Chains A and B, each alone.
Chain A
Amino acid sequence: MMKKYDIIEINDLNLFYGDTQALKDISVNIKSNSVTALIGPSGCGKSSFLKSLNRMNDLVPIAKTTGEVMLDDKDIFEQGYDIVALRKRVGMVFQKPNPFPFSIYDNVAYGPRVHGVKNKKRLDEIVEKSLKQAALWDEVSDRLKDSAMGLSGGQQQRLCIARVLAVEPGVILMDEPTSALDPIATLKVEDLIHELKKEFTIVIVTHNMQQAARISDETAFFLMGEIIEFEKTSDLFENPKDKRTEDYITGRFG
């Protein structure tokens, strides 16, 4: 396996929605080719943190960010930073599967097309490769022209993952990607995440602590906009250093 290094360095990240502070002085490093899980009670800022990493918070007019998110030694919040390039490099999978109301093929080809790939053969290759990477190819290869809306929830979510993979990102952000799925579909996505980690860096929000324990290498525990604890997953779950972490993972609050 590739050598792990810090791919994202977050320094003193603060995020405000108007007057309310959603993230407070976050300073953590995310390692390459690993799965980092974000856990914590709802409303504690996990999604906000995730969305800071590819600047999806830019869509919220009242959101204001301070601090740095260093990606490849450049601060993504710097003036003039290329957001298109950022979002290509840092892809996002949402809580509810959100395929476009197009065909399966067009969903996967969407990203490459937007970024200028026109060649039909090249697109075919990308679509096939991405669907295979997302472990969906075998289920849909004979109906690529069918509407993506006809797929099951789990298939839709893997399609959304394939859609992200098609633009060849380095980092994939996932916001509770299995919360809308049944247990079997959830397992499939978890297996997929395990596979993807070989090539990609994954940051995943989950409200399911077993899931965090199963799939992640490191885990960050969020509480009211702060990271209380950020450790190797096994350490955090077996040996929480902070009382609040312990209370949370043993189900005493949250």
Chain B
Amino acid sequence: MQKKKLLKKIASYGVEKLFLLSACVAVLALLVIGVYILVSGLPGMFKIGVGQFLFGEKWSPSEGYYGILTMIIASLAATIGAAVIGVGIGVPTAVFLADIAPKWAVRILRPAVELLAGIPSVVYGYFGLVVLVPFISNTFGGAGNSLLAIIIILGIMILPTIINLSELAIRAVPRSFVEGSLGLGASRMQTFLRVSLPSAKSGITASIILGVGRAIGETMAVILVAGNTPQIPGSILDSVRTLTINIAFEMSYASGIHREALFATGVVLFAIIMILNFTLQAVLNRKAGTRKRRRAGVKPR
């Protein structure tokens, strides 16, 4: 009896430490990657000159020009565009799935979304190349390889992330909140907009952040439809080169300062993702309430 108890205690202690260790591994991995990128990328950035590097418009390694402004702009534009599509279509779809959809619609939509999530990015790229690019070219003129193509492809790619996580968040809103609201004479729509959505906002925020993170980091699908010209896009029909493309394209043969410049591109990409995460989190949380409310969250006491 006594021994059993002791064993149990040791086991639970062990499991607890194991979980802690797993959590540490994740944090450690993040740290190692972060430090590695910084160490290998920062020196190059300083050699080139931080201003030169970040705000230079010309990228021409053979001539010694290493400016990535065009790519920063392209990456940001592509990500923002994709987020607009992803959020604009994804969040309403999640709402529909979680709250409104009849069973048969859910039976069609849910597997469709899951399938979408399982498609490898190169296939998205291929689809973009053979379907979307010619379509854009025929409809709007130009080559078709364009910022617009990237935005559409990325927008579709991040849909499953946003839909699945947002739906989960909305479904997790306690039924008692909904009943409380309906019991006060609020309509279903009012209940949804004023209670369910605000209660689910941290989950929806997370879904958007993950979606955006995926969009800005995506390489393979983008390479195939971007056109890859390092220029500041005058319109969404222009060919562009994103930060990810720059690295993937040239890393295999780059050496010396060129190689370091590519690492530095990685630093910028990393920094942009971090900044995007923090601002998005701050903005979306501020909109719906005070700090205190956020801290209280939706956790039942």
Binding site for B on A (CB under 8 A): 54, 56, 59, 83-88, 91-92, 94, 96, 98-103, 110-111, 113-115, 145-150, 153, 156, 160, 163-164, 167
The range of chain B's interface size is: 20 to 34
Q: Contact between A100 and B199 (Cβ–Cβ < 8 Å)?
A: yes
Contact digits for B285-301, partner A, Cβ 8 Å, 1 yes 0 no? 00001101101111111
How far, in Å, is A125 (CB) from chain B's closest CB? 18
Question: Which of B181, B184, B187, B195 counts the most A-chain CB atoms under 10 A from its CB?
Answer: B184
Q: Contact between A56 and B182 (Cβ–Cβ < 8 Å)?
A: yes
Closest 7 CB pairs of A and B: A147-B296, A98-B176, A87-B185, A149-B296, A92-B183, A111-B184, A88-B185
Q: Contact between A98 and B185 (Cβ–Cβ < 8 Å)?
A: no
Contact digits for B142-170, partner A, Cβ 8 Å, 1 yes 0 no? 00000000000000000000000000000
Q: Contact between B301 and A110 (Cβ–Cβ < 8 Å)?
A: no
- Chain B residues with Cβ below 8 Å from A115 are 185
Q: Contact between B194 and A98 (Cβ–Cβ < 8 Å)?
A: no
Q: Contact between B185 and A84 (Cβ–Cβ < 8 Å)?
A: yes
Interface of A is mostly: helix
How far, in Å, is B179 (CB) from chain A's closest CB? 7
B180-239 residues with Cβ-Cβ distance < 8 A to A are: 180-187, 190, 194-195, 198-199
Q: Contact between B183 and A153 (Cβ–Cβ < 8 Å)?
A: no
- Chain B residues with Cβ below 8 Å from A111 are 184-186
Residue B249 is within 8 A (CB to CB) of chain A in the complex: no
User: 13 more A-B contacts (CB under 8 A) besides A54-B183, A98-B177?
Assistant: A56-B183, A59-B179, A87-B184, A87-B185, A94-B176, A94-B180, A96-B176, A101-B198, A103-B293, A110-B184, A111-B184, A163-B180, A163-B184
Binding site for A on B (CB under 8 A): 174, 176-177, 179-187, 190, 194-195, 198-199, 289-290, 292-293, 295-301
- Chain A residues with Cβ below 8 Å from B194 are 110, 113-114
Q: Contact between A100 and B195 (Cβ–Cβ < 8 Å)?
A: yes
* Closest B residue to A163 using CB positions: B184
Bound Cα distance from A153 to B300, whole angstroms = 11
* Closest B residue to A153 using CB positions: B301
Q: Contact between A98 and B174 (Cβ–Cβ < 8 Å)?
A: yes
Q: Contact between A102 and B185 (Cβ–Cβ < 8 Å)?
A: no
Question: Which of A84, A111, A147, A160 counts the most B-chain CB atoms under 10 A from its CB?
Answer: A147
- Chain A residues with Cβ below 8 Å from B301 are 149, 153, 156
- Chain B residues with Cβ below 8 Å from A103 are 289-290, 292-293
* Closest A residue to B173 using CB positions: A101
Bound Cα distance from A195 to B47, whole angstroms = 78
Q: Contact between A100 and B295 (Cβ–Cβ < 8 Å)?
A: no
Contact pick for A114, options B186, B292, B295, B298, CB 8 Å:
B186
How far, in Å, is B181 (CB) from chain A's closest CB? 7
- Chain B residues with Cβ below 8 Å from A153 are 301
Q: Contact between B183 and A91 (Cβ–Cβ < 8 Å)?
A: yes
- Chain B residues with Cβ below 8 Å from A85 are 185
A-B contact pairs, 19 of them (CB 8 A): A54-B183, A56-B179, A59-B179, A84-B187, A86-B185, A94-B183, A98-B176, A100-B177, A100-B181, A101-B198, A101-B298, A102-B198, A102-B289, A114-B190, A147-B295, A147-B296, A149-B299, A160-B180, A164-B184
